[in-house]
Homo-oligomer: A and B are copies of this chain.
Amino acid sequence: MSYFRPEIERMEGYTPGEQPLGGKFIKLNTNENPYPPSPSVAAAIRSAIESGLARYPDPLARAFRERAAALLGVEPDWIVCGNGSDDILTIVTRALVGAGERVRYPYPSYLLYGTLAAIQGARCEETPFQADWTLDDAFAAPRPDLRCAFLANPNSPTGTVIPPERVLEIAERLECPLLVDEAYADFAPSHCVDLVRRNERILVARTLSKSYALAGLRFGYLVAQPPMIEQFRKVKDSYNCDTLSIAGATAAIDDQDWFRHNRNRILSTRGRMTDRLRRLGFSVIDSNANFVWAEHADRPARGLYEQLKGERILVRYMDYPGWRDGLRISVGTDEQMDAFFSLVKAMV
């Protein structure tokens, strides 16, 4: 007999992404920031260590929520913090979706939405993007058993974005919450935080992993109307954010100059990288994120991925059945991209 819920038994075993523990790799596979976080992050963490680790952290991460609220133009009670935005997505799914109920998300998109739904014993409805990367009204159609729709915006792996006015339209047609996953929004021309005031069903998730270069720290947050936040708080572990990550995350969002400087460098590199890939015969989707999706007419993506890995450059090979396969390449420093291109040139 099995001790586990049948939904868990049925799931695929977890395969962690490639996070090489040693050796010199150029890592362009998990959309980390190629620049370090603000120096004030290390200073804040060192100071938090001095203040002591023996006591529990602030369960409400008030220091962070106050600064983030000021930055976003909301009040602190519009924000709940998480141990990375994966924790936020987990909390939202557990709070909204019961066994046999349904979630919806576009295809292709972030794989975690399906995993979280599976853990709840829920059904998944994958709505394909249109050819121009818009979403038609099938994505916005209400149905009684639909409990949450997820929209990565910008989307991964495509880097495409649904404009805020269309997101609002979708939320207004849907009768369930719409989780707008803005992990990459800092690299895009628009975001949806301002929509949260206009529709209680709009929930915006953010992370400090990408644009603030803090993937190692695990810090994310959700912006939603206070009555929604109150319910989500019931589901989170009491002390889900630790003392050091609260201190580091607060320092990071306080250094907007550092953030903007590195974001702008990444956007410039992304532009040059897109041009160079296209000149080498890749078809590249215009990206609004810190990665690009690239395919080559003559060279299978998997082979390119493996050749590059042999040269200690990691990109992400992704295969979406029914859609296509290709490479999702994170934007590195200009120097890293030069190393990448000097190899790719010889491969295509």
Residues of A within 8 A of B (CB): 1, 3-5, 7-9, 11-14, 16-17, 19, 21, 27, 30, 32-37, 41-42, 45-46, 48-49, 52-60, 62, 83-84, 86-87, 90, 94-99, 119, 121, 147, 175-177, 201, 209, 213-218, 228, 230-231, 233-245, 248
Contacts and interface: CB of A to CB of B under 8 A. Distances in A.
A30 B230 CA distance: 24
A5 B84 contact: no
Contacts of A231: 4, 8-9
B53 A3 contact: no
B54 A33 contact: yes
A308 to B, nearest CB: 18
A49 B53 contact: no
Contact of A54 (B62, B99, B215): B215
A201 B1 CA distance: 12
25 contacts: A4-B95, A4-B96, A5-B98, A12-B234, A13-B233, A16-B59, A17-B59, A19-B55, A21-B58, A32-B54, A32-B56, A36-B52, A41-B53, A46-B49, A52-B216, A53-B217, A83-B242, A86-B239, A87-B237, A98-B99, A99-B99, A217-B242, A217-B243, A218-B242, A244-B244
Contacts of A60: 16
A234 B11 contact: yes
Given A237-B86, A237-B87, A242-B216, A49 B55 contact: no
Contact of A245 (B94, B95, B177, B242): B242
A71 B94 CA distance: 35
Instruction: Report which residue of A55, A175, A201 has the largest number of chain B beta carbons within 10 angstroms of its beta carbon.
Output: A55
Contacts of A42: 49
A63 B215 CA distance: 18
